[in-house]
Amino acid sequence: MSTINNLKEAFAGESQANRKYLAYAKKADEEGYPQVAKLFRAAAEAETVHAHNHLLVMEGIGSTAQNLEDAITGEKEEFEEMYPEFIEEAKSKDNKKAVWTFDVANQVEEIHAGLYQKALEALGENKDVDYYVCRYCGNTVEDDAPDVCPVCGAKKSDFFKVD
């Protein structure tokens, strides 16, 4: 295996560890273990440092325009190819929970691609736009949360503003 492949694998592993540890922290908070939650969040931050270092060494960060184009390509691959295959496989196994999570992610990845495209087209205008994310499906919207999430049906109060 090459060093670049090792960096890619390390980046993926560190990225996954970050997200997993944040989920673990949330669970620890819910179960009344704030100190354990704090430890998981600290480790998640460290994993982010590692992931960013690997990405920098791979020269995986370009200009903002290049990064937007890369994000559009990645999101399109997910909603055009990856998730439709995952959905069909889950349906064939009658795994309704997997179908749901793949389906909402698929819908939201298409929304993300559109938001990235819009940002790319407006690059340099420095317009101030607020973004809200649904805590259940990840739907991402501009300016204000909808009364009802068009992806999963969640309420407006289930959206949080991203700073």
Tell me the HSE value of 138 on the side-chain side, using a 13 A CA sphere: 13
pTM over 0.85: yes
pLDDT tens, 141-161? 999 999 999 999 999 999 999
Residue 72 has pLDDT above 90, yes or no: yes
What average pLDDT does the segment 75-101 reach? 98
Q: What is the H or E stretch that residue 78 is in?
A: none
At residue 120 the predicted structure's pLDDT band, cuts being 50, 70 and 90, is: very high
**Domains, in order of start, for the chain:** 3-57 (1.20.1260.10), 64-162 (2.20.28.10)
- Alpha-carbon gap, residue 162 to 140, rounded angstroms: 10
Residue 133 has pLDDT above 90, yes or no: yes
Confidence (pLDDT) at 126 = 84
Angle at CA 69, nearest 5°, toward 68 and 70? Answer: 90
Q: Identify which of 89, 118, 116 has the alpha carbon closest to the alpha carbon of residue 102.
A: 89
How far apart CA 146 and CA 142 sit, in angstroms, is 10
